[in-house]
Structure 1
Amino acid sequence: MQSPFIVELNQQNFMQVLESSKQTPLLIHFWASVSQESTEIIPHLQQLAQNYNGAMMLALLNCEQEQSIAAQFGIQALPTIALFINGQPVDGLGGPQPVEAVEQMLAKHLPSQEELNLKQALELVASGEHSQALPILVTLPADLINRGDVKLALADCYIEARDFAQAGTLLQSIPLEYQDNYYKGLIAKLELHNQAANSPEIQSLEQQFAIEPDNAKLAQELALSYHQVNRDEEALELIWRFISRDLNSLEGEMKKSFMDILSALGQGNTIAGQYRRRLYSILY
């Protein structure tokens, strides 16, 4: 398996790889083709290294080809697994072991998979890749999601996804010690949205519509104004009031606006899904 987290140990790179454990924990797997158990576990260890995504390096040492290195470590049984941190052995396993035993050993010294996922998500947010970070963040366990820094990252992702309601709820629950410049920047973005979402133009349309609640043209104009500032649920509900009574309202223009908003929201949007089902119920 080609991976930046996996290396084959030999005389030429041995000292350099061992020295690297001062920066990144190093798991050395001593194996030989004559030991079936030592070869069978290699793919599992490789997958483990991939899962740790750089939080650990895996080094494979073929004891048949590199007998002098194996001798230096005094290897008595195969497979043997040794974990090095800061250049020193801190833990290990000798003899055939299930991969679960290796996972348990690593868990004592390395971050959990959830912590690694969080680290990856925060790096994605920092690099502006919010759409990739959000699915990772929402699957974290509750104890991590409730951390102030994680709530800020989630709020950031929701703002970028234009889910301002979710972002606002999260920002209201940020502990005082996390109300830093990052927090203030997110609050400012939310306030800008809220100001646009309740512009004088929209307020004027709302006042006119309150006087003429059966004016379909006015309703459509107000709904499209809502959509422009991401008040999509209100936009869809407003149009639905008319097309549910007359699918051909405004000679089909209302239905077209409805479909355009659904299309803009995309297939995965929960609100869009609800209104699609309503529409299908009167179409079919």
Structure 2
Amino acid sequence: MQAPQVIQVNQQNFHEVIQSSATTPILFYFWAPMSQESEELLPHIQQLSQNYAGAVQLAILNCQEEQTIAAQFGIQALPTIALFVNGQPVDGLSGPQPLNAIEAMLARHLPSQDERNAKQALQFIAEDQHTQALGLLQSLPDEWQQRGDIKLAFADCYLASQSFKQAASLLADIPLQYQDSYYNELCAKLELHQNAANSPELQALEASYAEKPHDAQLANKLAISYHEVSRDEDALQLLWGFLQNDLNTLDGDMKKTFMDILSALGQGNPLASRYRRQLYSRLY
């Protein structure tokens, strides 16, 4: 997400800036070139606000140029920092401060990094950017990953990446209070896949392979059939069972099937990435 632009506060916009804190908290930074401490801290404040990725908006006011506004705020020391929420100041610091004191002040009022990552992941899912969302979800601590809404988000990403077993496992463990329309939509997607992926023809092929589990030709045919109905996790697992022992199984045809499936899944797919790593570890 692109960081919001820093607002330069002046007589024309400062009322509007304060009012905008009704939707996004505003971090006011009062400084002046004549104050070396406030000037030196300014780039650190800018970086700190950018770390919040849109959860707070930085507004800076040059008290040397805007003395009237500084007087209205009652600024007596530089730098002065004030956090506005819903049009009102909720916290602040006056005079030179260590950066960790400012971080602690913001932490009392703003969402944590985990909250921001979860929110961004949900936004990525809404934009069909499931690979990016999955990376953020996986970065969350275990207590977050056990939440019902986060499990639903994981399941959505797994369905998008055709990791149907993982999606099914998560959807089977969703608490009742989270079994809403979103949950029903994900279950419907999974059921649609399961119906398509268990045709009589495929079941017959599975039965044949069950009778001859060491038949590489039959396994390769079954893996291709799995891939055709988006059961790529089953296909790759089946193929790897042979390839991990002999990469030249079927004179290389099985490895070609394996690589074709990885290629079809794409570079960003987590399932494909996992099996690529296994293949590279076998090669090198």
1:84–1:90: 8 Å Cα contact kept in structure 2? yes
Please give the alpha-carbon distance, in whole angstroms, between the structure 2 residues aligned to 1:118 and 1:60: 29
Given candidates 234, 237, 240, the residue that maps to 1:237 is: 240
Deviation at 1:254, TM superposition (A): 3.1
1:274 maps onto 2:278 in alignment: yes
Alignment partner, residue 178 of structure 1: 178
2:145–2:151: 8 Å Cα contact kept in structure 1? yes
Alignment partner, residue 201 of structure 1: 201
**Counterparts in 2 of 1:5 and 1:140: CA distance versus 1, 3 Å:** farther
- % identity of equivalent residues: 57
Alignment partner, residue 247 of structure 1: 248
Match runs of 1:81-120 below 5 Å: 81-120=81-120
Alignment partner, residue 169 of structure 1: 169
Deviation at 1:70, TM superposition (A): 1.0
**TM-score, normalisation: structure 1:** 0.87
Question: Pairwise CA RMSD of aligned residues?
Answer: 2.4
Alignment partner, residue 44 of structure 2: 44
2:222–2:235: 8 Å Cα contact kept in structure 1? no
Question: After the TM superposition, which of the residue ranges 262-271 and 46-55 deviates more from structure 2?
Answer: 262-271
Deviation at 1:216, TM superposition (A): 4.5
Please give the alpha-carbon distance, in whole angstroms, between the structure 2 residues aligned to 1:34 and 1:118: 42
Deviation at 1:96, TM superposition (A): 0.7
Deviation at 1:69, TM superposition (A): 1.1
Give the letter aligned to residue 270 of structure 1: R
**Counterparts in 2 of 1:248 and 1:125: CA distance versus 1, 3 Å:** closer
2:21–2:86: 8 Å Cα contact kept in structure 1? yes
Give the letter aligned to residue 196 of structure 1: A
**Counterparts in 2 of 1:238 and 1:198: CA distance versus 1, 3 Å:** farther
1:158-217 per-residue CA deviation (whole Å, 9 max, x = no partner) reads 110111122112112110011112111111211222233332222222333445556544
1:102-134 per-residue CA deviation (whole Å, 9 max, x = no partner) reads 111111112112112211211221232222211
Deviation at 1:9, TM superposition (A): 0.7
**Counterparts in 2 of 1:103 and 1:166: CA distance versus 1, 3 Å:** same
Please give the alpha-carbon distance, in whole angstroms, between the structure 1 residues aligned to 2:214 and 2:103: 66
Report the 3-state secondary structure (helix = DSSP H, G, I; strand = E; otherwise coil) of the residue aligned with 2:111: coil
The structure, 1 or 2, with the larger RCO (C-alpha pairs under 8 Å, 6+ apart) is 2
2:11–2:66: 8 Å Cα contact kept in structure 1? yes
**Counterparts in 2 of 1:91 and 1:193: CA distance versus 1, 3 Å:** same
2:3–2:54: 8 Å Cα contact kept in structure 1? no
**Counterparts in 2 of 1:86 and 1:247: CA distance versus 1, 3 Å:** closer
**TM-score, normalisation: structure 2:** 0.87
Please give the alpha-carbon distance, in whole angstroms, between the structure 2 residues aligned to 1:89 and 1:219: 67
Please give the alpha-carbon distance, in whole angstroms, between the structure 2 residues aligned to 1:276 and 1:266: 16
Match runs of 1:185-224 below 5 Å: 185-211=185-211, 216-224=216-224
**Counterparts in 2 of 1:210 and 1:140: CA distance versus 1, 3 Å:** closer
Structure 1: 5+ residue runs without aligned partners? none
Report the 3-state secondary structure (helix = DSSP H, G, I; strand = E; otherwise coil) of the residue aligned with 1:41: helix
